Structure 1
């Protein structure tokens, strides 16, 4: 334990029926130091040609004292931007989309953009799609490095994609891309689905693990607010701490039952996080006697 708590961030997925102002205001009230901005069209529209003015987001950051840690662009099927696209015109739009996301991140003072492998068609060998994914990721990562931004790639669950579902899949893809700006995001839902572990991610990626979509998991969903599932939050955080993790724990709550009251879900997540640290720090104090 370093004495510095790993920061907790919230995301705006479950605020899709609320204005972006409400999201920032509630994050501030609950003590979240930062957020990860999902580019929901109703909150911050972005495609390969244009994006909403960043001035509004900058004003919200200033008003509520909450920074944007990273950008999470829309990119899963059936969204139009696929890292492993076959069609040349889609490839061109995909490259333009992610370079735009990098520019937005830089303007907002964020440090990273969340990416995925994209997806393969079921009627083609997955190896062909993985080659296309690696080629596109290499181009995007090269641009990201030139702008001082990291990419954080997360695994996807089947059937979302067949390209990168596991730690081993991500290891192979990073080796193929071979760009320093391409780092790793540990998505707890994808991790549980693949049978991987937090420690397994650190064993594979070490300091290149720079971000986590940290959620609780249960029978209802693999992306629950903290405290709504059956994970041992304190034990998880201690694993991040032991491995010298320097990123944030970003609560990617996509549980449909939280849509009418996302504020309460964020309050539960913050409460569970604080209780976990009280437990951890209590163990540390007892051990030092």
Structure 2
């Protein structure tokens, strides 16, 4: 019997980049999406190493549309802030930025913040970049423990990083950080690019998987469900078998979705609805 609930689908605002935050919240309510993984990028949520947006106002906007922010995802790829920044000044500013992100997550009322390993230079030894990544993640885990937030780390594609891009590397980093506030996020795109399966990840991590970026792919492309090659019924079968209780973030990043993002989200929900138990 299906166990995944509609409320576990978490809409994301990254493909609403050219629309207001109010428009995004209204579109989620219309599509029947109850939970939100808030992408912490401008213009929706302005944050830097010194300050961040008024979380109270953002929460009020969400409440006006009967949606709840359940996870916070600070932008960490296209901005100058980098978990494993190779320049010392950039590293320190990145530390302030991601520390702010943990605090913002707490103020937004969510207990989840998503992150990745960052990236280093291609012309340096991988272990040097790994050390910086681990140092930053360890620091953030300590902050998260104090703030009552859980950090969930995803793998990246090889084009984005050479640090944590596989299940094996995720296992190593998880053991190295060794904090109750540091758990794992499964990204179905990075998983597919690495030739791995959801079964592999749950077998390795079990309940340590605290969040999932649950999207279709070919294996590249963060696609709307139905536009890729993943067998959605198989994914739900695994989620149900392992009794997954976390959220399923809809991290849609392909530019072709940016003009009519509300129509895309409605199509996603129509595609996934048969697999909900409510």
Q: Same fold (TM over 0.5)?
A: yes
More RCO (CA 8 Å, sep 6+): 2
CA distance in 2 between counterparts of 1:226 and 1:3 reads 19
TM-superposed deviation, 1:2: 6.9
Identify the residue that residue 238 of structure 2 maps to in structure 1.
Answer: 239
Task: Using structure 2 for the length normalisation, give the TM-score.
Answer: 0.95
* Partner SS, residue 61 of structure 2: helix
Matched, 1:222 2:225: no
- Kept in 2: contact 1:233–1:272 (CA 8 A): no
- Kept in 1: contact 2:4–2:244 (CA 8 A): no
TM-superposed deviation, 1:86: 2.8
TM-superposed deviation, 1:54: 1.5
Identify the residue that residue 84 of structure 2 maps to in structure 1.
Answer: 84
- Kept in 2: contact 1:69–1:110 (CA 8 A): yes
TM-superposed deviation, 1:62: 1.4
Deviates more, 1:158-167 or 1:81-90: 81-90
Task: Using structure 1 for the length normalisation, give the TM-score.
Answer: 0.92
Cα distance change on mapping 1:179 and 1:123 into 2, 3 Å: same
Identify the residue that residue 65 of structure 1 maps to in structure 2.
Answer: 66
CA distance in 2 between counterparts of 1:163 and 1:61 reads 35
Identify the residue that residue 17 of structure 2 maps to in structure 1.
Answer: 16
CA distance in 2 between counterparts of 1:90 and 1:246 reads 37
TM-superposed deviation, 1:3: 4.5
Correspondence 1:118-157 to 2 at 5 A: 118-157=118-157
Deviates more, 1:142-151 or 1:172-181: 172-181
Correspondence 1:92-111 to 2 at 5 A: 92-111=92-111
Greater Rg by CA: 1
CA distance in 2 between counterparts of 1:129 and 1:218 reads 29
Correspondence 1:1-289 to 2 at 5 A: 1=1, 3=3, 5=5, 7-76=8-77, 78-218=78-218, 221-277=220-276
- Kept in 1: contact 2:48–2:97 (CA 8 A): yes
Deviations along 1:38-84, whole A, 9 cap, x unmatched? 112111101110112123211112101101111111111x5221111
Q: Which runs of 4+ in 1 moved over 4 A?
A: 1-4
Cα distance change on mapping 1:114 and 1:250 into 2, 3 Å: same
Structure 2 runs not aligned, ≥5 long? none
Cα distance change on mapping 1:3 and 1:240 into 2, 3 Å: closer
